[in-house]
């Protein structure tokens, strides 16, 4: 295995994108990623990974990897569309990382894309429900909001967290997202905004939940030894971890409040990077619901189990705090075009480590971590990135 670096990242505007087709959305982020590199053109790409959850349902277009090859004009000799529901982006990036690390290809493009606003929001919600077990859970109403509400209720019971503390996570992420030009919601909110918003599934209100979005993100990877040819500030991928619980159902999880798959994925990534949580300067995590970000603090090791609420109150996860989480605005404010989310996390951390975060820059950031989940938090992908000296 050889070292791997990120040499180009690109994002589209996220939100409602009725102005473009699925293929055009793929091109838009890839174009930015190629512009972010030097001397690398689409024709040079040897591996293509497309992260997409449900183009066949949202846009009536299956086989998005071949669509991407056509729209980008590339001929990959290694290629796959990776579908891992909300963690498609992290999983596709991990595949591309190992493709370069193992010498299968000299360059890889990861394109994450989802176009969800193409269908009425009721249909979009229905599509999202299909990522849970049809027979035993989704059919009976155990769908993402109710599942994460159950997790939140259990956390309240075991460790105690208030709705105000959960709301603070949404407030922080909206504040960060207000400084992100591509974010779907660029407006600050207050704790009252969250608490007074419609109840979705107790204890989660509308503003505890991430939205339905269109958007795309692209990342270009090469071997580290070639990286400076393509970018003056390469960012190295120094850790990668993944884990899936032998459960798909919420009811089979060993614990609702300690996500074993996340603990294992994070440990694998820290171990590969030979670093600990204390070495992280920022994190982009999967805040599909505010309770998710809270548990992620703990299971990523950013604080001890049960101390997430105090970490929220301390302000240490704000930009300027000890360990800023979701400086991009997270899924909550930036948006959650499912297949693009995990790829965009890599893009945000890369820009932060290069010092290109603009008004949301985490000062002096050298090392960052990303975490992307799917199912009822039964599958996680974690990556650790570091700026080259």
Which positions are annotated as active-site residues?
86, 336
CB of 15 to a copy of itself, least distance (A): 22
Contact status: 375 vs a copy of itself (CB under 8 A):
yes
Residues 204 and 291: beta-carbon distance below 8 Å? yes
User: Which residue is associated with the tokens 């982009």?
Assistant: 284
* Integer angstrom CA distances of residue 351 from 247, 254, 361, 363: 35, 37, 9, 12
One of 17, 57, 168, 332 touching a copy of itself (CB under 8 A): 57
Alpha helices for 254-337 (secondary structure H): 260-273, 290-299, 308-314, 330-334
Residue position matching structure tokens 């800023």: 324
Residue 134 engages a copy of itself in binding (rule: CB under 8 A): yes
| Segment interacting with a copy of itself (CB under 8 A) among 124-132, 219-227, 282-290, 364-372 | 124-132
Minimum distance between the CB of residue 366 and a copy of itself, rounded to whole angstroms? 27
| DSSP classification of residue 1 | -
Q: By CB under 8 A, name the one of 33, 131, 382, 384 that touches a copy of itself.
A: 131
Q: Which of 130, 191, 195, 206 binds a copy of itself (CB under 8 A)?
A: 130
Contact indicator for 220, 179 with CB cutoff of 8 Å = no
Asked if 371 interacts with a copy of itself (CB under 8 A), we say no
Q: By CB under 8 A, tell whether 80 contacts a copy of itself.
A: yes
Least distance from C-beta 82 to a copy of itself, angstroms? 5
Q: Which of 153, 233, 268, 310 binds a copy of itself (CB under 8 A)?
A: 268
Segment 22 to 41, residues that bind a copy of itself, using CB under 8 A: 23
Helix (H, G, I), strand (E, B) or coil at 208: helix
DSSP character at residue 325: B
Rg (CA), the chain: 19
Retrieve residue 358's tokens.
């603009």
Structure tokens belonging to residue 231: 């970018």
Q: How far is the CB of 40 from a copy of itself (least distance, A)?
A: 16
Site for a copy of itself in 228-257 (CB under 8 A): 241-249, 252
CB 341 within 8 A of CB 253: no
Is residue 62 part of the contact set for a copy of itself (CB under 8 A)?
yes
DSSP 124-137: HHHHHHTTS-TTTT
313: helix, coil or strand? Answer: helix
Q: Which two tokens stand for residue 378?
A: 């039964």
Residue list 102-121, contact with a copy of itself (CB under 8 A): 102-104
Of 4, 30, 33, 91, which lies in the binding site for a copy of itself, with binding defined by CB under 8 A?
Answer: 91
Residues that bind a copy of itself (CB under 8 A): 1, 21, 23, 48, 53-54, 56-57, 59-63, 65-67, 69-70, 72-85, 91-92, 95, 98-99, 101-104, 127, 130-135, 241-249, 252, 261, 264, 268, 374-375, 378-379
């Amino acid at each position: 295995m050889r070292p791997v670096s990120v040499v180009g990242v690109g994002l589209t505007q996220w939100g409602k994108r009725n102005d473009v087709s699925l293929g055009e959305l793929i091109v838009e982020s890839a174009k930015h990623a190629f512009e972010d590199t030097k001397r690398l053109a689409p024709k040079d790409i040897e591996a293509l990974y497309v992260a997409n959850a449900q183009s066949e349902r949202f846009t009536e277009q299956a086989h998005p990897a071949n669509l991407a090859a056509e729209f980008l004009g590339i001929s990959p000799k290694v290629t796959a569309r990776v579908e891992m529901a909300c963690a498609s982006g992290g999983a596709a990036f991990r595949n591309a990382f190992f493709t370069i690390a193992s010498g299968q290809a000299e360059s890889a493009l990861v394109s994450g894309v989802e176009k969800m606003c193409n269908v009425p929001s009721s249909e979009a919600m229905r599509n999202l429900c299909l990522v849970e077990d049809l027979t035993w859970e989704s059919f009976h109403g155990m769908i993402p909001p109710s599942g994460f509400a159950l997790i939140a209720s259990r956390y309240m019971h075991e460790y105690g967290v208030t709705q105000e503390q959960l709301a603070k996570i949404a407030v922080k992420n909206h504040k960060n997202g207000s400084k992100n030009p591509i974010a779907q919601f660029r407006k600050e909110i207050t704790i009252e905004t969250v608490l007074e918003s419609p109840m979705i599934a107790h204890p989660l209100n509308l503003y505890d939940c991430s939205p339905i979005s269109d958007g795309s993100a692209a990342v270009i990877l090469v071997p580290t030894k070639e990286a400076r040819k393509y970018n003056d500030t390469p960012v190295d991928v120094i850790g990668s971890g993944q884990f899936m619980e032998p459960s798909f159902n919420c009811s089979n999880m060993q614990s609702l409040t300690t996500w074993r798959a996340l603990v294992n994925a994070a440990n694998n990534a820290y171990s590969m990077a030979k670093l600990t949580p204390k070495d992280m300067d920022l994190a982009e995590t999967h805040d599909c619901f505010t309770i998710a970000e809270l548990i992620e603090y703990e299971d990523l090791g950013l604080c001890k189990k049960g101390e997430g609420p105090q970490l929220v109150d301390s302000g240490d996860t704000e930009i300027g705090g000890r360990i800023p989480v979701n400086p991009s605005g997270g899924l909550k404010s930036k948006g959650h075009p499912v297949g693009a989310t995990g790829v965009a996390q890599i893009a945000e951390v890369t820009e932060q480590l290069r010092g290109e975060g603009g008004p949301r820059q985490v000062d002096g950031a050298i090392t960052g971590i990303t975490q992307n989940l799917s199912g009822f938090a039964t599958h996680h992908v974690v990556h650790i990135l570091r700026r080259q000296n």
